[in-house]
């Protein structure tokens, strides 16, 4: 451990002396790596997070996202690389020396302290005057709408209330960076959705920087302004939600984020701004030329199910679409009714299958497709993405 | 209800018989301590006669006082050392001599008392230490700190480590985090450890016999020498008093730990 | 460095005081036992020789070392009294541990099947007698088992016997005393494993067609073996060296090793032989002690 200046995290908090220079990111992670035994949990991650961002680290369990978060909080020290907060390298600083706070996955509320004392805990440590603590605690209680529960102990609170206390406690010190480790995992679906909205609103109002770790891609998509997808200790792609969904950089990301139809390519021909691609399972497909050129390596054509349209006879002409349309004939092989949408699995005459997600826009749909019905699936070249395998 | 239907008649019978086996002898002893008659065969009506006799017995009173002082002193030192040992074992990760340390702490839990007693006596003789209050206290501390260490270590082990991390995250240096979060949460276990050490010390005959000197007998040593000569109603009275004392200690401690913490999970007394 | 290691450094400092204490008052004394077990009895104070006197110079210390011998161990191995005492200790410990398992298992099983709320109550009920003095519990049984004690009165009143039965100073009384004293030590580890067991496992076994007996022997019992191991060791080891219970409840014609040691030490003042007996007892218990230590450490460190 390097010899840090004896400055406490609290002082750094209060003075706010670590503000980045204009244009500099608040947080810069440079080539950070961490190995446990022989397992390389985080493998050379570099990332910039700007002040005011709501950043999500998304990935399957064991991908290293929690280890990365714990290195930001100071519970693990990286074996390699630097972590700069406002230009200062904090990689080896102890947790209490960092102007960063964390909301723990199981909340880690102190069971022997009341709601008020839990929230005041970090303030007392920062040497804040007693007279200032009470109003700050009251402000935090109001912020998370827990008025009237200040004297309760954590085991007298519901799951949602506990989550709010944990949030208030972590925010009370006004950290430069708030880390949230699967903050909504313990809540049920309905509560999770309303809490997501509240967290977003809170972050926007306070103008703070949040980094959230989650394995739930819907959660990351809903809340974050940018998402970093992690796989085996590496950042696979960093992009805003829309870009991540519509322009995934690899086949793995496309499959991890949402559902997708993939067709392995066997040949390609250039035709102006389009590529004509021969696939084994879906015949010849016309796709828009990808923005980033790719070599002659193996690749696939990908199309999201909601962009695949179905009809009995063939493509219905829609304004704005070009003439070249991919048309595939097939039979409905499986129907999965999901309420708002219905997913159809279409067995193509060419051998493959394609999934189409259709919105149920009418309550009584006399025209709903039925099993084994002959069908035409179609989609435009612009809706397709070419992905390296 | 499923849980009730799982309970067979055999289960209930074995539970009832087991508890009766555990409690009846003590109950009988307590009842007979109030028997006015000297003979166990005869119920002579309720009386406090044997309690008066006990309080008139100077040697018994002195032995009781000695035992109490030893129990309080050794339990207090043992709680301090045992808690430190538990912290080192459950939070110290790997360190040199760890295996020897844990071995030394777990062995006395089951080690026959004659061996522990004999070895300590030989040490005291070699050191030419005057035997009495301090030698017994040291011997009892050595034995009981191991029990304290186990009780506290099992509580520390079941404690959520993220609580300590949260304290550090909120500005505590490690030692401060331990004092302000961990210590209050393991307090019930520390209290339970003290009580256990206290009663074990009050209870011990063998180790005290080896390590005490002439003229400073503990209560169990006195009771033992009386019991060898046969049943005396006075002994029933002393035993009842000891049971009452231990019961009071347990009640106070459990009420205190209930009051000090409403964390739901309280430390088991063992 | 990890979060755990941030804590580890100050935590290790905590080890210093208890470490020094245990080395001084647990480890070092064994050195003395070993040394004196190799010495000769003497009518002196302390009652053995040679006495190591570091001030007497090198030759005196060498002479003292030369005077050490294993005669006491030869005596232990050749004298029937000691050999029988060791054998009796083992027999008593094995029999008593088997009895404890037989009696303790149904109780622990019954506890584990109680509704959750009652389990805590039952656990306290089992532990509380353990808190009352060991000696008092033995004394309580002397009360009951004596010639005109409660047991004989009841038996006479029910006309099951025509005259009082001699209970005290018999092996029966001793086994009652041992089982009574050690029962909580058997029940608690058994209960701990049984209570942790998933009830669905037994239900699955009977769902798959196993009758109740088979459910127990094929599922419940094998899964409770760690608890059985802990309970057996927790009882067996101290019973081998038990002194008070056989001394107060059993007859005096065959002694256990703990009694022999006590006798040699207090009555015969033969410290070297007592020490040798202690070393021999320790060697006998070394294997179970090592097993127990490993079990205890694994259990505490797995949490």
Distance, C-alpha A93 to centroid of its chain: 27
Give domain status of residue C49, yes or no: no
| Contact residues, B window 107-146, toward C, CB-based 8 Å cutoff | 107-116, 118-120, 122-123, 125-126, 138-139, 141-142, 145
- Model confidence at B3, pLDDT cuts 50, 70, 90, reads very low
pLDDT > 70: percent of chain B: 91
* C12-39 tens-digit pLDDT: 889 999 999 999 999 999 888 888 888 8
DSSP lists the bridge partners of residue C257 as none
Of the listed ranges A233-242, A260-269, B62-71, the one predicted with least confidence: A260-269
Check: CB of residue A110 under 8 Å from CB of residue A125: no
pLDDT over threshold 90, residue A304: yes
Three-state DSSP class for residue B258 = helix
Check which CATH number belongs to the domain holding C178 and give it. Answer: 1.10.3720.10
* CA–CA distance, A144 with A183 (Å, rounded to integer): 14
- Model confidence at A8, pLDDT cuts 50, 70, 90, reads very low
Of the listed ranges A178-187, B22-31, B206-215, C85-94, the one predicted with least confidence: B22-31
Peptide bond into A222 cis (omega under 30): no
Give domain status of residue B37, yes or no: no
* C109-145 tens-digit pLDDT: 988 888 888 888 888 888 887 777 788 888 888 888 8
If one counts the domains in chain C, the total is: 1
Give domain status of residue C196, yes or no: yes
- Model confidence at A1, pLDDT cuts 50, 70, 90, reads very low
Count of CB atoms situated within 10 Å of the CB of A155: 12
Q: Give pLDDT, residue A299.
A: 84
Whether residues A104 and B162 touch (CB distance < 8 A) is answered with yes
Q: Give pLDDT, residue A223.
A: 93
- Model confidence at B6, pLDDT cuts 50, 70, 90, reads low
* A18-36 tens-digit pLDDT: 455 556 789 999 999 999 9
Q: Which residues of C touch B12 (CB under 8 A)?
A: 110
| Contact residues, B window 230-269, toward A, CB-based 8 Å cutoff | 261-264
Check: CB of residue A155 under 8 Å from CB of residue A166: no
* B154-201 tens-digit pLDDT: 889 888 889 999 999 998 988 899 999 999 999 988 988 998 899 899
- Model confidence at C74, pLDDT cuts 50, 70, 90, reads confident
- Model confidence at A51, pLDDT cuts 50, 70, 90, reads very high
Query: Which residues, in sequence order, are CB contacts of A27 under 8 Å at separation 6+?
Result: A47, A48, A49, A72, A83, A84, A85, A177, A209, A211
Q: Give pLDDT, residue A20.
A: 52
Q: Give pLDDT, residue B4.
A: 42
Both tokens assigned to A288: 């828009």
Whether residues A70 and C1 touch (CB distance < 8 A) is answered with no
- If you ran DSSP here, which 8-state letter would residue A342 be given? E
pLDDT over threshold 60, residue C85: yes
Give domain status of residue C36, yes or no: no
Task: Choose among A334, A324, A340: nearest CA to A354.
Answer: A334
Task: Choose among A327, A255, A233, A324: nearest CA to A287.
Answer: A324
- Model confidence at A7, pLDDT cuts 50, 70, 90, reads very low
Given CB atoms, is B169 within the 8 Å cutoff of chain A? Answer: yes
Report, as an integer, the average pLDDT of C138-154: 84
Check: CB of residue C67 under 8 Å from CB of residue C50: yes
* CA–CA distance, A223 with A204 (Å, rounded to integer): 11
CA dist B219 → B33, B53, B216 (Å): 17, 16, 10
Q: Give pLDDT, residue A19.
A: 53
Across the interface, of A105, A112, A125, the residue whose CB is closest to B185 is A112
DSSP lists the bridge partners of residue B106 as none
Report, as an integer, the average pLDDT of B49-70: 90
* CA–CA distance, C266 with C30 (Å, rounded to integer): 19
Query: Which residues, in sequence order, are CB contacts of C163 under 8 Å at separation 6+?
Result: C156
- Model confidence at B66, pLDDT cuts 50, 70, 90, reads very high
Strand bridging mode A261-271 / A274-279 = antiparallel
If one counts the domains in chain B, the total is: 1
Q: What is the distance between the terminal CA atoms of chain A, rounded to a whole angstrom? A: 42
* A162-172 tens-digit pLDDT: 999 999 999 99
Give domain status of residue B113, yes or no: yes
Structural domain harbouring B121: 57-267
Give domain status of residue C103, yes or no: yes
Three-state DSSP class for residue B207 = helix
Check: CB of residue C240 under 8 Å from CB of residue C89: yes
Which has more confidence, C133 or C278?
Answer: C278
* C213-257 tens-digit pLDDT: 888 888 889 989 989 999 999 899 999 989 989 998 987 778 898
Q: Give pLDDT, residue B106.
A: 87
Q: Determine the distance in angstroms separating the CA of B35 from the nearest CA of chain A, rounded to an integer.
A: 48
Task: Choose among B231, B154, A378: nearest CA to C299.
Answer: B154
Task: Choose among B185, B197, B204, B89: nearest CA to C296.
Answer: B89
Give domain status of residue B87, yes or no: yes
- Model confidence at C3, pLDDT cuts 50, 70, 90, reads low
* CA–CA distance, A59 with A62 (Å, rounded to integer): 8
Nearest chain A residue to C7 by CA: give it. Answer: A75
- Model confidence at A46, pLDDT cuts 50, 70, 90, reads very high
Give domain status of residue B227, yes or no: yes
Across the interface, of A101, A106, A112, the residue whose CB is closest to B263 is A112
* CA–CA distance, C46 with A263 (Å, rounded to integer): 94
Task: Choose among A4, A164, A174: nearest CA to A74.
Answer: A4
Whether residues B246 and C131 touch (CB distance < 8 A) is answered with yes
Mapping DSSP onto H, E and C, the string for chain A reads CCCCCCCCHHHHHHHCCCCCCCCCCCEEEEEEEEEECCEEEEEEEEEEECCCCEEEEECCCCCCHHHHHHHHHCCECCCEEEEEECCEECCCCCHHHCCEEEECCCCCCCCCCCHHHHHHHHHHHCCCCHHHHHHHHHHHHHHCCCCCCCCCCHHHCCHHHHHHHHHHHHHHCCCCEEEEECCCCCCCHHHHHHHHHHHHHHHHHHCCEEEEEECCHHHHHHHCCEEEEEECCEEEEEECHHHHHHCCCCHHHHHHCCCCEEEEEEEEEEECCEEEEEECCCEEEEEECCCCCCCCCCEEEEECHHHCEEECCCCCCCCCCCCCCEEEEEEEEEEEECCCEEEEEEEECCCCEEEEEEECCCCCCCCCCCCCCEEEEEECHHHCEEEEC
Q: What is the distance between the terminal CA atoms of chain C, rounded to a whole angstrom? A: 22
- Model confidence at C54, pLDDT cuts 50, 70, 90, reads low
Q: Give pLDDT, residue C48.
A: 74
- Encode burial over A334-365: b for 16+ CB neighbours within 10 A, e otherwise: eeeeeeebbbbbbbbebebebbbbbeeeeeee
* A326-359 tens-digit pLDDT: 889 999 999 999 888 999 999 999 889 999 999 8
Q: Give pLDDT, residue A23.
A: 65
Give domain status of residue C265, yes or no: yes
- Model confidence at A293, pLDDT cuts 50, 70, 90, reads low
Check: CB of residue A165 under 8 Å from CB of residue A117: no
Give domain status of residue B212, yes or no: yes
Q: Determine the distance in angstroms separating the CA of A272 from the nearest CA of chain C, rounded to an integer.
A: 56
Q: Determine the distance in angstroms separating the CA of B131 from the nearest CA of chain C, rounded to an integer.
A: 14
Report, as an integer, the average pLDDT of A197-224: 93
Report, as an integer, the average pLDDT of C135-157: 85
Structural domain harbouring C174: 78-301
Give domain status of residue B155, yes or no: yes
* CA–CA distance, C127 with B17 (Å, rounded to integer): 16
* CA–CA distance, A384 with A303 (Å, rounded to integer): 5
B111 phi and psi angles, rounded to 5 deg: -55, 130
* C256-267 tens-digit pLDDT: 988 988 988 888
Both tokens assigned to A339: 């309420």
Q: Which residues of B touch A8 (CB under 8 A)?
A: 171
Of the listed ranges A84-98, B254-268, C1-15, the one predicted with least confidence: B254-268
Question: Mean pLDDT score of chain A, rounded to an integer?
Answer: 87
Given CB atoms, is C1 within the 8 Å cutoff of chain A? Answer: yes
Q: Give pLDDT, residue A175.
A: 93
Angle B58-91/B133-158 helices, nearest 10 degrees? 40
Check which CATH number belongs to the domain holding B120 and give it. Answer: 1.10.3720.10
pLDDT > 70: percent of chain C: 89
Report, as an integer, the average pLDDT of B224-247: 84
Which has more confidence, A320 or A125?
Answer: A125
Q: Give pLDDT, residue B21.
A: 86
Q: Which residues of B touch A109 (CB under 8 A)?
A: 166
pLDDT over threshold 70, residue B22: yes
Check: CB of residue C26 under 8 Å from CB of residue A99: no
Of the listed ranges A31-40, C85-94, C263-272, the one predicted with least confidence: C263-272
Give domain status of residue B50, yes or no: no
Cα Rg of chain B, angstroms: 22
Check: CB of residue C165 under 8 Å from CB of residue C158: no
Give domain status of residue C62, yes or no: no
pLDDT over threshold 70, residue B225: yes
Across the interface, of A94, A101, A105, the residue whose CB is closest to B170 is A101
Whether residues A153 and B169 touch (CB distance < 8 A) is answered with no
Give domain status of residue C3, yes or no: no
């Amino acid at each position: 451990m390097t010899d840090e200046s004896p400055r406490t995290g609290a002082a750094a908090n209060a003075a706010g002396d670590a503000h980045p220079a204009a244009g500099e990111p608040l947080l810069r992670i440079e080539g950070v790596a961490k190995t446990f035994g022989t397992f390389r949990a985080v493998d050379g991650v570099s990332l910039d997070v700007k002040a005011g961002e709501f950043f999500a680290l998304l990935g399957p369990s064991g991908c290293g996202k929690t280890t990365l978060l714990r290195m930001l909080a100071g519970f693990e020290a990286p074996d390699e690389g630097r972590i700069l907060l406002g230009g200062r390298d904090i990689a080896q600083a102890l947790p209490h020396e960092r102007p960063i706070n964390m909301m723990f996955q199981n909340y880690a509320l102190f069971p022997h302290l009341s709601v008020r004392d839990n929230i005041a805990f970090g303030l007392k440590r920062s040497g804040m005057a007693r007279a200032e603590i009470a109003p700050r605690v009251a402000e935090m209680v109001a912020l998370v709408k827990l008025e009237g529960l200040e004297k309760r102990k954590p085991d007298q609170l519901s799951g949602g209330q506990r989550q709010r206390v944990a949030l208030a406690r972590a925010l009370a010190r006004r950290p430069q960076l708030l880390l949230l480790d699967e903050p909504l995992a313990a809540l049920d679906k309905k509560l999770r959705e309303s809490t997501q909205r509240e967290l977003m609103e809170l972050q926007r109002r306070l103008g703070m920087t949040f980094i959230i770790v989650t394995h739930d891609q819907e959660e990351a998509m809903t809340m974050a302004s940018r998402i970093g997808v992690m796989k085996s200790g590496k950042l696979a792609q960093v992009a805003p939600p829309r870009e991540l969904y519509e322009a995934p950089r690899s086949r793995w990301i496309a499959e991890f984020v949402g559902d997708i139809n993939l067709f392995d390519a066997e040949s390609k021909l250039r035709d102006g701004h389009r590529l004509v691609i021969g696939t084994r399972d879906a015949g010849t497909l016309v796709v828009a030329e990808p923005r980033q050129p790719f070599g002659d390596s193996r690749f696939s054509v990908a199309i999201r199910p909601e962009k695949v349209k179905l009809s009995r006879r063939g493509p219905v002409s829609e304004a704005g679409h070009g003439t070249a349309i991919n048309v595939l004939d097939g039979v409905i092989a499986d129907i999965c009714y999901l309420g708002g949408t219905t997913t159809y699995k279409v067995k193509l005459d060419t051998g493959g299958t394609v999934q189409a997600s259709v919105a149920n826009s009418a309550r009584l749909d006399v025209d709903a497709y039925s099993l084994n019905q002959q069908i035409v699936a179609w989609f435009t070249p612009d809706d397709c993405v070419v992905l390296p395998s | 209800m499923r849980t009730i239907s799982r309970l067979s008649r055999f289960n209930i019978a074995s539970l009832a018989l087991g508890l009766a086996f555990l409690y009846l002898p003590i109950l009988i002893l307590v009842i007979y301590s109030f028997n006015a008659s000297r003979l166990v065969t005869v119920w002579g009506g309720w009386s406090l006669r044997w309690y008066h006799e006990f309080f008139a017995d100077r040697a018994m009173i002195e032995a009781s006082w000695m035992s109490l002082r030893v129990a309080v002193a050794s339990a207090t030192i043992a709680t301090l050392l045992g808690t430190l040992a538990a912290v080192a074992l459950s939070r110290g990760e790997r360190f040199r001599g760890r295996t020897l340390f844990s071995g030394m702490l777990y062995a006395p839990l089951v080690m026959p008392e004659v061996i522990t007693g004999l070895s300590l006596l030989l040490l005291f003789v070699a050191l030419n230490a005057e035997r009495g209050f301090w030698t017994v206290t040291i011997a009892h501390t050595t034995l009981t700190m191991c029990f304290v260490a186990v009780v506290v270590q099992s509580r520390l082990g079941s404690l959520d480590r993220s609580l300590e991390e949260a304290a550090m995250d909120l500005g505590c240096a490690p030692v401060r985090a331990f004092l302000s979060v961990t210590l209050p949460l393991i307090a019930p276990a520390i209290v339970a450890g003290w009580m256990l050490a206290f009663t074990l010390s009050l209870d011990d005959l063998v180790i005290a016999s080896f390590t005490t000197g002439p003229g400073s007998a503990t209560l169990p040593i006195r009771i033992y020498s009386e019991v060898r000569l046969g049943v005396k109603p006075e002994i029933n009275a002393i035993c009842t008093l000891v049971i009452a004392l231990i019961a009071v200690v347990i009640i106070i401690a459990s009420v205190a730990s209930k009051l000090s913490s409403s964390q739901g999970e309280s430390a088991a007394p063992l | 460095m990890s979060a755990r290691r941030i804590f580890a450094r100050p935590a290790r400092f905590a080890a210093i005081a208890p470490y020094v204490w245990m080395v001084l008052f647990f480890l070092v004394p064994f050195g003395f036992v070993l040394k004196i077990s190799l010495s000769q009895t003497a009518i002196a104070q302390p009652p053995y020789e040679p006495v190591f006197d570091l001030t007497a110079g090198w030759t005196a210390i060498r002479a003292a070392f030369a005077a050490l011998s294993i005669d006491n161990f030869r005596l232990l191995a050749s004298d029937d009294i000691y050999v029988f005492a060791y054998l009796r200790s083992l027999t008593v410990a094995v029999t008593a541990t088997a009895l404890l398992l037989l009696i303790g298992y149904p109780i622990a099983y019954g506890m584990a099947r109680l509704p959750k709320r009652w389990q805590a109550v039952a656990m306290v009920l089992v532990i509380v007698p353990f808190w009352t003095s060991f000696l008092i519990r033995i004394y309580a049984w002397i009360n009951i088992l004596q010639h005109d004690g409660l047991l004989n009165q009841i038996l006479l009143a029910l006309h099951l016997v025509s005259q009082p039965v001699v209970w005290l100073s018999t092996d029966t009384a001793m086994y009652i005393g041992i089982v009574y004293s050690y029962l909580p030590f058997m029940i608690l580890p058994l209960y701990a494993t049984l209570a942790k067991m998933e009830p669905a496992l037994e239900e699955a076994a009977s769902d798959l067609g196993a009758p109740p007996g088979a459910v127990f022997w094929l599922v419940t019992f094998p899964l409770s073996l760690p608890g059985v191991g802990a309970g057996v060791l927790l009882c067996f080891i101290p019973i081998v060296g038990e002194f008070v219970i056989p001394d107060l409840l059993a007859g005096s014609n065959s002694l256990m090793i703990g009694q022999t040691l006590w006798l040699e030490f207090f009555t015969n003042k033969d410290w070297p032989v007592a020490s040798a007996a202690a070393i021999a007892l320790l060697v006998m218990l070394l294997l179970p002690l090592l097993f127990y230590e490993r079990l205890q450490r694994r259990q505490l460190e797995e949490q």
